[in-house]
Amino acid sequence: MKLLTVIFLLALTSATSALDNGLMRTPPMGWMSWERFRCNIDCENDPKNCISENLFRDMADRLAEDGWKEMGYDHVMIDDCWSSMLRDKDGRLQPDPQRFPGGIAKLARYLHDRGLKLGIYGDLGTHTCGGYPGTTLDKIDTDAQTFASWGVDFLKLDGCYSNEEEQQKGYPLMSKALNATGRPIGYSCSWPAYRGGLPPSVNYTLLGEICNLWRNYDDIQDSWDSVQDITDWFFDNQEILQPEAGPGRWNDPDMLIIGNFGLSVDQSRSQMALWAIMAAPLIMSNNLRTLSSEARAILQNGAAIAINQDPMGVQGRRLLQERSHIEVYWRPLSQSASALVFLSRRQDMPYRYHTSLAKLNYTAGSYEAYDVFTGKTLSGLSATTEFTVSINPSGVVMWYVYPKMHHEHTQDDGRYPYIRQKYRMSSSLRFHMPRVVPPSLL
């Protein structure tokens, strides 16, 4: 099937109904506490790293001051273990008074004053996964109203200590309750992860009508094995999962672990590239206070983010798994552009992979390719031009591919306001475009 026909069909299948709250038309971006800080509540002995209002204020400061917000990372998300072990006298959830003495509403105002949004965690069950009070069916309206009154902008609703019948009732009820508050609150459902992630146990048509994003699969861990396991599951099941994603409704392969302990620099680039191809939420879970320059450069790579945030919102696909253990992934983008990722599953040495765009289903024509991680541009590609990419073990080469135009576009031609406005250049971003710039990345 030729490229333009494929793009049309993918866009058509992605244009299914979505939760009508107007939110998350591109995948959400931000920071979440769980993978890096888990349920550390020992504020006496580890005050800098425990789940407390100080941790979330610190991360908000980093997002606001270190160039993250300008790149789109605008959510700070509290995960489990934030609440008191008891509801208040009126049956409402309340934060732990020692670790959140100012309360959640004050923390939300702190974030909002910095142009950021606050996410919070709940669980549709008797208890959260960490053992804190859950949201049983009779508490859904109360908790939705509580979150709205605090100024919360996003809710992740987990599914520990609940059963299939409760989930079938509760996840749609929470969607309705959040909308009824009158406050725009993004809604992340963990429902499919508790039902095996696939039909017939999971109804993705319904999920798209009630949730902005959903966890399909297991929690990510701080290892390359975990990243590969998640990648394999999503792309092995791409025929089912890929059509379900689109503006306002996203598959969520879980957090970015770049900058922690388990990934090399090459593996970090690989996770960033694969999550961009998947149109996945870019939710970091790391320590922004001590992040290395290499990790920051990957996470703030403007081209990778622009690919992830492409407004067409079509999730990408795996094209090839070669016997050489090289894999090729592809995602259609706006303005007739596309993204290619060449991933090495090898463990020995850099591998020289030979191919052409025609072998990857591109139609005849002239193309240019911008290398996302080196900043170099390859010009003069016809569809049949043979080329070679050298891919490091467990690394990637990621290209932004676009048709060569008969006339040059400039930054002032007004055709690309979305990308140009969202990714305007800033000295604090440490991101430099090449001399030849893909038009839709300007």
Any idea what the Cα angle at residue 344 is, between residues 72 and 395, rounded to 5°?
Answer: 45
Residue tagged active-site, from 79, 158, 252, 310: 158
List 401's β-bridge partners, or say none: 338, 369
Cβ atoms of 192 and 214 closer than 8 Å: yes
Q: List the structure tokens of 109.
A: 């105002």
- Catalytic annotation present for 61: no
Residue tagged active-site, from 58, 141, 218, 219: 219
Cβ atoms of 298 and 269 closer than 8 Å: yes
In whole angstroms, give the CA distance from residue 78 to residue 335: 36
- Catalytic annotation present for 222: no
Catalytic residues: 158, 219
